Structure 1
């Protein structure tokens, strides 16, 4: 197959795997995620581990070749059992090229390749048996990788096929070689040229494979994080991922999926201008998505709360005891039949060492009651109960419940710093800084490779 035909096939494969979006993709965005350059620089510190894994897991094929020499006839050789030892990386740099790719430069990768060299001569007047000798090749290499982000099968995919290797040093050492010096020079020239081609092919293929595996791993991690039993979010892409000079951004549908509950959404107010660039990580959540989650949780019977006993009789203001004394049984009957909804604004105070704390200062409290329009005493009673007893009780239940849920998703493995939840009309923004746990990547590489 010619290179031209192969290139056409690649284009067709990418075209067939691409996603289709409507003329206004932001209108269906329920969740947006922005990772800024400081986060990219932090994650780049782990690039060395990925590159080392790429070198060690690359499958180097046996290399064979021959060359015609005067008097000697043909000199044939073969390299086998090629392995990588003593691998180190001096420096890694990352740059976000706007509307193009994530450009990663790996400087001064030093490695020693070991294996077995088999060689022999086939002349017109004689045939000499092949000899085998162990060899070592010391190398110093720079890598340049351009990672493009795209949509494939409705999720973010990484393409790292744009990969280049530059060799600054490639020195061949033959162990126990008794042949004349010209033979070593001959093999140095041949093997160096051939090995460069093989290294570029195999290492770049492995890097591209790892990039795709990591992209799938992040997607699976996110999908697991937004699912709990029968309730989950559809994180299919609503538009192509963005690469800007200062951030990476992806937009997701975020529709709630729960049994027979159906959700639709086409009037999102999202715009990239709503998110800043000063923090490491941003999440934009549509109010519609949050309301749908609450509805699904209600249908799943997760939002029921019964307040009884002393919590109904004692408040700091003393209003409730007097009302209970005056209203008597009537209040008990009304409390059994009243339906009301409460909406409270509060923000995340701290999530550290696997524990969630909610701020206990409420900016707004809105009540909607069914009935009692003409009975201010009962309305005041219910408002007092909600403010003094209900909301603190809800917080005391939400904190451990959300803490347990987030820890079960592995969030406690990250060091999250200064998280904030900002509420606006129609949406919520979560912004935070974080530290990346080194062992998480190591565990991933050990399990997947």
Structure 2
């Protein structure tokens, strides 16, 4: 009756959707090949997925422009006919920002090339200036605005540094197609003002470039931390968590970005260990947007932690239990069970995992080997009427559609051992009674446990926000010692909103 542990697999399948190429790392090995054997989970983001994510890039770039804090600028210079010019610019702010389009490409072994074109913005602030000679001597403090039209180029590089994968966007440049400074709304300045504003414009251009590129670099690393924190929170439930630190630097090819993660289960201050992973990049392809490679060395420690944490328990009582036993079985129901269901005020069945479940993944499927104990009570909180233990080998398949998780189980082995009829203080040695228990476990118990897990795991996934993703055509391919999950997806807008809110606080 104990098939509950298997569903931890689809849980991880969907939870890992929040993994990204950016994650924290305690010890990042210098090259991917040396990191493979310590890798429990791999995320491959293909070019079509990058296209979807790039559609959100403009929002982050807008935040970079608007969130940038432009310092006060000042200086002096000698100009022909005017003499010495002293100036200062304060309170620079961005208004009327718009972005034309964003394009990108993946540079194998290097990074990501991004072009943001047609960035139009008006910078407003206050200018203090004075200029003087034997002809004139003027001092002013007036408002100004700068019209700008800019193309922005960024070539981010992902690397291991400071205990995490960081994004280096220092290769950043701005091309100004238009940058005009107007004093107090004066669109047609005289030659004197024009001479002065042309000089100031160059200084403003350098300041804007420096601050925008600085802000983009800061936002990139804030985004890295945000994704990591979100993923770690997503993969934490109670005392169970998953360490998704990376084992090596991300790999960038012309067709995908790939990251390598430890995938170590943590429970009660103890951590799983992986040092003989079978991962190789050839095990993944590029037909879909997103791929996850998961070792059974990630999933089995999760099952162990869940077992130790008492997660695998199920109590069914009253009318629900009575209704379950109306299932048409070929075996004859023992009289003690029949009387319990019909005559007891509150019959109850209690089931729990009595040993650590084990998951075996192969090309034949995903098999769960589980042992469970069961107690059948007839309304009394004391001694149960029936006590039994079962061994179950179950091949489980998982799917996700219409925002719901679906589980199907095909038992290859079901056995009932050590059954006791405690109300009569004797072993249930009757073959008819044993056959009934076995059939009940297979045709009532296993389907019921799977249906409960479907509901509970869907609820958990919804709580963590998986239902906010649009997931298309997910596929689960079991292989020897690992499983590959592939899918297409739509990026959830709420994640971007949360990130921008946090950034702009």
Structure 1 length-normalised TM: 0.85
Q: Answer yes or no: is 1:117 the counterpart of 2:164.
A: no
Q: Given the superposition, is the C-alpha separation of residues 132 and 104 from structure 1 closer, same or farther in structure 2, using an over 3 Å criterion?
A: same
Structure having the larger proportion of residues in strand = 2
Q: Please state whether the residue corresponding to 1:239 is helix, strand or coil.
A: strand
Over 3 Å counting, the alpha-carbon distance change for 1:250 and 1:382 in structure 2 is farther
Q: 2:89 aligns with which of 56, 79, 87?
A: 79
- Report the equivalent of 2:484: 429
Root mean square deviation of aligned Cα? 3.1
Q: Secondary structure at the match of 1:401?
A: helix
Q: Distance in 2 between matches of 1:159 and 1:323?
A: 73
- C-alpha separation in 2, matches of 1:97 and 1:320: 69
Mapping of residues 253-402 of structure 1, within 5 Å: 253-259=262-268, 261-306=270-315, 309-310=321-322, 313-321=325-333, 336-352=387-403, 356-360=404-408, 362=409, 365-367=412-414, 380-402=435-457
Partner residue of 1:135?
144
1:307-358 CA-partner distances (Å, limit 9, x unpaired): 66436744323225279899x9xx9799624242443311214152xxx231
CA distance in 1, matches of 2:249, 2:124: 44
Say yes or no: does 1:97 pair with 2:107: yes
Q: How does 1:41-52 map to 2 (within 5 A)?
A: 41-52=51-62
TM-score by length of 2: 0.76
Q: Distance in 2 between matches of 1:334 and 1:153?
A: 61
Mapped partners of 1:180, 1:371: distance in 2: 98
Q: Could you tell me which residue of structure 1 aligns to residue 35 of structure 2?
A: 25
Residue of structure 2 equivalent to 1:217: 226
* Alpha-carbon distance change, 144 to 398 in structure 1, aligned in 2, over 3 angstroms: same
The 2-side partners of 1:196 and 1:339 are apart by: 75
Contact 1:338–1:369 at 8 Å: present in 2 too?
A: yes
Displacement of 1:145 in angstroms is 0.6
What is the CA–CA distance in structure 2 between the aligned matches of 1:248 and 1:357, rounded to whole Å? 28
Deviations 1:132-167 (A, max 9, x none): 232222111111111111223543322222111111
1 CA distance for matches of 2:232 and 2:312? Answer: 23
Structure 2 distance, partners of 1:99, 1:358, is: 39
Question: What SS does structure 2 have at the residue aligned with 1:102?
Answer: strand
CA positional deviation for 1:413: 1.9
More helix by share: 1
Name stretches of at least 5 consecutive residues in structure 2 with no aligned partner.
1-25, 341-374, 377-383, 420-428
Q: State whether residues 243 and 263 of structure 2, in contact with CA within 8 Å, keep that contact through their aligned partners in structure 1.
A: yes
1:180 CA displacement? 7.4
Report the CA distance between 1:97 and its aligned residue: 1.0
The 1:291–1:91 alpha-carbon spacing in structure 2 relative to 1, beyond 3 Å, is same
In structure 1, the partner of 2:173 is 164
Alpha-carbon contact 2:416-2:437 (below 8 Å) kept: no
Question: Structure 1: where are the runs of 5+ without partners?
Answer: 1-16
Distance 2:118 2:269 in 1: 57
The count of residues paired between Structure 1 and Structure 2 equals: 425
- 2:206 counterpart of 1:197: yes
- How far off its partner does 1:433 sit? 1.8
**Larger relative contact order (Cα-Cα within 8 Å, sequence gap ≥ 6):** 2
Cα distance change, pair 311–260 in 1 and its aligned pair in 2 (3 A): farther
Secondary structure of residue in 2 paired with 1:83: strand
* Other-structure match for 1:240: 249
Q: Is the 8 A contact 1:314 1:320 kept in 2?
A: no
CA distance in 2, matches of 1:155, 1:185: 49
Q: Distance in 1 between matches of 2:110 and 2:385?
A: 63
Please say which of residues 293-302 and 399-408 is displaced more in the overlay: 399-408
Cα deviation, residue 47, structure 1: 1.0
